[in-house]
């Protein structure tokens, strides 16, 4: 209701009352504390996640994350995946062969005798060593190529799954708190798939290298590997603890970060840009942003200090452990328990094992951060899957329905106690125009969403030719509707596709001409440089933008072009000039000849010609009848009509 409208409590008044002084409970000083701006989501409860982050939980999660990455890759390009894994195994085998060749080479070189003879003896193992190094370099190139081939594919697959999930969800899903923000977070998760694959790849490569070097070390002397693993434990524990801190911080700040992301988008958004400036709102929004950014920064900085302390302790313990291992090698050498050649190889192998262990821990811990984003992706897929249209609807198809009915229909939005629509009966047959009127929030748009089968009723039923809309296949059913919503929608497409919605009819030219003439969009298209071929993707380079009224005409043309039977026009002329508005309403009867028309509007003069006017109040039908009947009845409609006349 406009702010200068009469006092809603005084329904008989036709006077415009003086602006009301704010009541005490509206005073800024007296109001209770504002509700905190926070991101509400169905994503796993942060506290529960934080409590579950144990080192063991992290260790068992690693194979699951690698498994998810490999499954995705398997789906998109199994040949490349197999080749990649084969390369890793071959690289591991070559690593082991290279290490063994090192022992043979050193043994030959340090043996007594003629230099040339020793070099000759060393030649085969030297060739093997050089060959192994060269082949490993070749495999490295192949791995990079295969990875670069795979990563865009899994990104694309993850994005496609996400888009498919959101496009197949019930419209009602958007009424659940956080649904869109969760989608944003999941989208970032889809982008992170690339990193997940890289990290998985690093873990697998490091594991292959570790296996090769560990086998060689065990072969050289069985005591070395246990010692080495023992020595790696303090560093490993420290790395896992530091990663755990990082993971906990990511989880703890996750909701705040989604909120910040959303605020950034709102501040930069084109459709808000005008108001942001006109109301000089930027400093306030930036202050809100800073408040939440501060919180994230405080948590992150405290965590960084904790992680640094843990890492320093790990490094000190790791240094002591390394000393122990090297001491053992020297002792083995000094006591002739190991040959000089074997000791030389052991030095190289020990370094390899140590590097690969570091690689496993490093890449593995990085995977947890990425895994968090991937969880968002997976959780959104699961959640959207729960809203899949097919879950709650049947698969029946209707050739061309003739009668649309609401039978005791009620609908309650998520999180609301009172129904938005409550026990409404309505019938709209082909050839009739039914107008829905009522004050703001009385349930008109919700009822329109129910009649069109976009929402499923909470109580009662909506039928098309007697068939419950719950039983109809949604996409096939929506082919029968031409729905102009209150919110004018701009698609970043050329003018023609904006009108055809990318679904040209068999009688395209005639249908387009009719739709353009009936909606007034003909004048808009005539003014475009390339007519129907003009790009209306203003947000992209080279696109043209239209005025609000021009966009509304294009939206009307879209509704008229579609060969549907149920035409629903929700405030179709709110942005139109008087001439354009006159043209629309004059042409509406013609539209109704072979269609059922539902008109939602506040401009009561425009509903005079409707066959039936249904007046809604708090979701219920308060009155119904023709224009004359309702004016004579002196009820709510007559009162609203009188108020408009006074203006
Ligand atoms: N997505 C939503 N989630 C929760 N409540 C909603 C949602 N959309 C609408 N409502 C509530 O449902 C009620 C009916 O809204 P609806 O949009 O159907 O009213 P309307 O008669 O079309 O209003 P208007 O004349 O302002 O367009 C209102 O109380 C509104 O606050």
For residue 175 and ligand 1, the question of a CB distance below 6 A is answered with: yes
CB neighbourhood size of 508 (10 A): 13
Q: Using one digit for the tens of pLDDT, what is the confidence trace for 346-369?
A: 888 778 877 887 788 778 777 776
* Res 5: pLDDT: 36
For residue 92 and ligand 1, the question of a CB distance below 6 A is answered with: no
Q: Which residue has the tokens 């109809």?
A: 472
| Range from 86-90, 404-408, 501-505, 611-615 carrying the lowest mean pLDDT | 86-90
Q: Using one digit for the tens of pLDDT, what is the confidence trace for 545-604?
A: 899 999 999 999 999 999 999 999 999 998 999 999 998 888 888 888 999 999 999 999
> Is residue 608 classed as helix, strand or coil in its secondary structure?
coil
Residue 36, by phi and psi: left (phi above 0), alpha (psi -120 to 50) or beta?
A: beta
* Res 469: pLDDT: 96
Flag whether pLDDT at 306 surpasses 50.
yes
Q: Using one digit for the tens of pLDDT, what is the confidence trace for 422-440?
A: 999 999 999 999 999 999 9
The mean per-residue pLDDT over the stretch 457-480 comes to 96
- Whose alpha carbon is nearest atom 19 of ligand 1? 441
The mean per-residue pLDDT over the stretch 452-480 comes to 96
173 C-alpha to ligand 1 centroid (Å):
16
Separation CA 324–CA 322 (nearest Å) = 5
Task: Using alpha carbons, select from 255, 482, 290 the residue that is nearest to residue 372.
Answer: 255
| Range from 78-92, 285-299, 457-471 carrying the lowest mean pLDDT | 78-92
413 CA closest ligand 1 atom index: 4
Instruction: Kindly give the residue spans of alpha helices, DSSP state H, lying in 269-281.
Output: 270-278
DSSP, res 170: -
Does the pTM of the predicted model rise above 0.90? no
535 C-alpha to ligand 1 centroid (Å):
33
Name the pLDDT band for 6 (thresholds 50, 70, 90).
very low
For residue 445 and ligand 1, the question of a CB distance below 6 A is answered with: yes
> Is residue 570 classed as helix, strand or coil in its secondary structure?
strand
Q: Going along 412-479, which residue ranges are E strands?
A: 421-429, 433-438, 459-464, 467-468
* Res 118: pLDDT: 78
Considering only residues 125 and 5, tell me which one the structure prediction assigns the higher pLDDT: 125
266 near 338, Cβ under 8 Å?
A: no
575 C-alpha to ligand 1 centroid (Å):
20
- Whose alpha carbon is nearest atom 18 of ligand 1? 443
415 CA closest ligand 1 atom index: 4
591 near 518, Cβ under 8 Å?
A: yes
Question: Best substitution site from 170, 443, 455 to test ligand 1's pocket, by max atoms within 8 Å of Cβ?
Answer: 443
Task: Using alpha carbons, select from 24, 21, 19, 1 the residue that is nearest to residue 11.
Answer: 1
* Res 505: pLDDT: 94
DSSP, res 433: E
For the chain, the distance separating the N- and C-terminal CA atoms, rounded to the nearest angstrom, is 14
DSSP, res 591: H
Distances (CA, A) of 197 to 114, 269, 366, 467: 52, 33, 11, 49
* Res 521: pLDDT: 96
Q: Please tell me whether the interface predicted TM-score (ipTM) of this complex is above 0.85.
A: yes
């Amino acid at each position: 209701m406009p702010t200068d409208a009469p006092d809603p409590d005084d329904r008989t008044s036709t006077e415009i009352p003086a602006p009301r002084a704010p009541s005490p409970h509206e005073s800024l000083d007296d109001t209770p504390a504002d509700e905190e701006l926070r991101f509400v989501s169905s994503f796993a409860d942060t506290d529960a996640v934080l409590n579950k982050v144990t080192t063991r939980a992290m260790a068992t999660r690693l194979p699951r994350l690698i498994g998810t990455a490999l499954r995705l890759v398997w789906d998109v390009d199994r040949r490349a995946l197999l080749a990649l894994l084969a390369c890793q195994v071959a690289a591991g085998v070559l690593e082991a062969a290279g290490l063994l060749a090192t022992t043979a080479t050193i043994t030959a070189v340090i043996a007594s005798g003629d230099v040339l003879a020793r070099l000759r003896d060393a030649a085969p193992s030297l060739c093997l060593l050089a060959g192994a190094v060269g082949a490993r370099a070749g495999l490295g190139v192949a791995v990079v190529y295969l990875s670069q081939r795979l990563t865009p594919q899994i990104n694309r697959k993850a994005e496609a799954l996400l888009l498919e999930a959101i496009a197949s969800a019930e419209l009602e899903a958007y009424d659940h708190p956080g649904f869109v923000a969760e989608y944003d977070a999941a989208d970032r998760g889809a982008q992170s798939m690339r990193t997940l694959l890289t990290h998985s790849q690093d873990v697998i490569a490091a594991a292959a290298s570790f296996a090769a070097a560990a086998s060689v070390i065990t072969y050289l002397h069985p005591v070395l590997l246990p010692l080495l693993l023992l020595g790696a434990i303090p560093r490993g524990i420290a790395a896992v603890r530091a990663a755990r801190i990082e993971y906990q911080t990511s989880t703890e700040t996750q909701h705040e970060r989604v909120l910040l992301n959303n605020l950034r988008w709102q501040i930069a958004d084109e459709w808000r840009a005008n108001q942001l400036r006109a109301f000089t709102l930027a400093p306030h929004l930036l202050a809100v942003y800073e408040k939440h950014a501060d919180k994230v920064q405080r948590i992150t900085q405290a965590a960084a200090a904790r992680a640094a302390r843990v890492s320093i302790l790990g490094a000190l313990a790791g240094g002591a452990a390394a000393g122990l291992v090297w001491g053992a090698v020297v002792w083995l050498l000094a006591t002739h328990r190991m040959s000089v050649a074997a000791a030389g190889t052991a030095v190289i192998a020990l370094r390899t094992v140590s590097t690969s262990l570091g690689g496993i821990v490093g890449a593995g811990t990085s995977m947890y951060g990425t895994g968090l984003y991937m969880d968002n992706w997976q959780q959104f897929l699961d959640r959207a899957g729960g809203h899949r249209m097919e879950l709650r609807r049947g698969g029946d198809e209707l050739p061309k329905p003739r009668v649309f009915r609401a039978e005791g229909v009620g609908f309650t939005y998520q999180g609301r106690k009172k129904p938005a629509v409550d026990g409404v009966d309505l019938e709209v047959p082909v050839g009739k125009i039914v107008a829905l009127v009522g004050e703001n929030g009385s349930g008109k748009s919700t009822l329109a969403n129910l009649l069109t089968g976009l929402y499923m009723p909470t109580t009662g039923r909506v039928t098309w030719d007697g068939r419950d809309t719950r039983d109809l296949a949604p996409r096939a059913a929506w082919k029968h509707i031409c729905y102009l919503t209150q919110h004018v929608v701009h698609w970043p497409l050329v003018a023609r596709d904006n009108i055809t919605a990318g679904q040209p009819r068999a009688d395209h030219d005639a249908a387009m001409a009719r739709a353009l003439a009936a909606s007034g969009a003909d004048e808009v298209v005539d003014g475009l440089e390339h007519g129907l071929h003009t790009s209306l993707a203003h947000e992209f380079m080279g696109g043209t933008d239209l005025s609000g009224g021009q966009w509304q005409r294009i939206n009307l043309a879209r509704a008229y072009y579609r060969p549907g039977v149920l035409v629903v026009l929700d405030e179709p002329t709110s942005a139109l000039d008087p001439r354009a508005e006159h043209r629309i309403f004059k042409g509406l009867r013609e539209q109704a000849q072979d269609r059922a028309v539902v008109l939602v509007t506040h401009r009561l003069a425009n509903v005079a010609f409707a066959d039936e006017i249904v007046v809604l109040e708090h979701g219920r039908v308060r009155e119904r009848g023709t224009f004359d009947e309702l004016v004579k009845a002196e009820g709510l409609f007559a009162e609203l009509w009188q108020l408009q006349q006074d203006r």
